[in-house]
Chain A
């Protein structure tokens, strides 16, 4: 009795809602379809290449497809390669020279732009985003010319003041400063807008109360602006670190005559450019990938240091 009823009951249920289960199954699967394009593309062009970098780094691998397993040889070679240490030094030097002034300038400008009665607020904000929409390639070409030893505008003024022209392109410090100026120019406006957005979330009463209490601009900056911007400052330090470790186009285009070394003495070759030189200049995929792995390790270390520092600062505050 029950044996015959049960299947029948089941059939009835299925019958009455004939369309809904099909639809709801479709509905249940649909969200995965909506998010799938990202994960698919990331798997193919992001995750797999990242993991495969570690594999290729263990081989002597050239683009024609010849490969020999060499274990950790590429890394041993890397450790003994003065070009690698040179590129590492250059990368860090350019990163520090570009990040610190950029964040300081952005902090000051954000504080200034946050004033309630500022006129032409939109004009100031928009102008500061103009460098961001200028390509790195165009930026490099213009700044290389502005800072040119013989015909640059900057050196014209240096000459007027009676000093000797500065050779930015061909000296170590000069080329680093020049690249840092380019990076700072392109990004300080963008960073300013991020800080400004954060500042606008700070209640104005806080500033007004400080005003009433007689706190000056500098004190307001130190005691209200800085603490309330801490999360976004940490965020921009991390993003500018990740960006700074990948600087490539500036050193490539700064010295167009010396290929991928950024000068005869490799005075401004960054890690990213060194990786390109090894991978696509001399077609040593294995060694190039080892540089990629080194970059990855550096980024992990820097992220950890960042995290530790920012949580320590957070606890103290």
Chain B
């Protein structure tokens, strides 16, 4: 808080003073200004943050102002007090609670599956030697360039063959492990786990399974957690595939439920907005707690130069 208060004064005078100094054209003060942050830098950032947050804020405004708020002119910009009424209306219109639970189950299982299975495979690629390891890994990297959505029709045929149409396992099973996750965990395990540690465990008679579960996994658990988190977010937000395989409202995930709400558009403009708001809230809560880890996770996963 203290930091919040003193920041604007600290930044602004520096920029201002630098601007008014007569010897501004001189090279010397400029070199002393290395890394100095000017006010317009903050202006650019504030604008970007406003652009990021305003649509969500406005979603909240319309959701809380009641269902007619979406059709007001001039548009509303202040929240109203009817959030509970509108929420009730959403739950009355469609089996929304069921959809939220479905999403939670699907995203939760995918998160756990990815955190564990990607770590295990990443561990094998990083620390175990086996015949064909390098070609197998190259194949894995190549699979990342194949976009899934172009073969949705045969994918649907397979799901139909398995008798999984209109079931949640059609969403969970294909998502349990990902090439990106394995690649990511492999990088992480190579960088953080010392070979000598594993060698010592081997001398003590540990097999690779024990080495993984007792030594490697506990060490990389924070990274696996972030991976699971990203998997959760992606699964929670997925639309195309659930839209194809889910047919009846009882198995809808929350995203498909919004689509169902939106189909009532003739009745109610604001209802879909309230649904969108309710679907986003769980992730925002997660983000408040773990956003920092997600940011560093994404930045760690990026390859550097």
Contact = CB atoms under 8 A, between A and B. Distances in A.
A122 B292 contact: yes
A117 B35 contact: yes
Nearest to A298: B150
Interface string A108-129: 1100110111111011111111
B123 A23 contact: no
B240 interface: yes
A197 B302 CA distance: 7
Interface in B279-305: 279-280, 283-284, 286-287, 291-292, 294-295, 298-300, 302-305
A248 B121 CA distance: 32
Interface stretch (B50-58, B81-89, B190-198, B219-227): B50-58
Given A112-B44, A130-B56, A211 B30 contact: yes
B305 A133 contact: no
A173 interface: no
A49 B259 contact: no
Contacts of B151: 46, 49-50, 52-53, 292
A96 interface: no
Nearest to A109: B48
B275 to A, nearest CB: 8
A256 B265 contact: yes
Interface stretch (A1-9, A68-76, A134-142): A134-142
Contacts of A208: 34-35
B45 A124 contact: yes
A122 B287 contact: no
B215 interface: no
Interface residues of B, number: 107
Interface stretch (A29-37, A77-85, A86-94): A29-37
Contacts of B287: 126, 129-130, 133
Contacts of A56: 153-154, 157
A26 B130 CA distance: 12
Given A31-B124, A117-B37, A146 B130 contact: no
B216 to A, nearest CB: 11
Interface residues on A, range: 35 or more
Interface in B148-177: 148-158, 160, 173-174, 176-177
A317 interface: no
A136 B149 contact: no
B96 interface: no
A129 B279 contact: no
B31 A185 contact: no
Interface in A196-239: 196-198, 200-202, 204, 207-208, 211-212, 214, 228-229, 231-232, 235, 238
B117 to A, nearest CB: 5
A47 to B, nearest CB: 8
A249 B240 contact: yes
Q: Chain B CB within 10 Å — which of A151, A202, A204 has the most? A: A151
Contact of B125 (A35, A200, A256): A35
B239 interface: yes
B159 to A, nearest CB: 9
Contacts of B149: 246, 248, 272
A276 B243 CA distance: 10
A32 B209 CA distance: 12
B76 to A, nearest CB: 9
A243 to B, nearest CB: 8
Q: Chain B CB within 10 Å — which of A26, A118, A141 has the most? A: A141
Given A30-B209, A42-B143, A245-B147, A142 B55 contact: yes
B124 A133 contact: no
Contacts of A27: 207-208
A202 B305 contact: yes
A149 to B, nearest CB: 11
B109 interface: no
B302 A232 contact: yes
A276 B154 contact: no
Given A52-B154, A129-B295, A145 B62 contact: yes
Contacts of B94: none
A98 to B, nearest CB: 15
B124 A35 contact: yes
Nearest to A285: B153
B104 interface: no
A41 B124 contact: no
Contact of A118 (B41, B125, B277, B299): B41
B179 A42 contact: yes
Contact of A135 (B74, B133, B236): B236
B145 interface: yes
Q: Chain A CB within 10 Å — which of B36, B275, B302 has the most? A: B302
A197 B297 CA distance: 10
B218 interface: no
Contact of A137 (B148, B156, B258): B258
B179 A152 contact: no
Contact of A127 (B11, B53, B265): B53
Contacts of B283: 133-135
A25 to B, nearest CB: 12
16 contacts: A31-B208, A41-B173, A44-B158, A46-B146, A53-B151, A53-B154, A112-B44, A119-B37, A145-B70, A212-B27, A232-B305, A276-B244, A280-B244, A288-B153, A292-B150, A292-B152
Given A130-B52, A151-B70, 5 more contacts: A30-B128, A135-B280, A137-B239, A211-B34, A229-B305
Closest 4 CB pairs of A and B: A138-B276, A135-B237, A49-B154, A201-B304
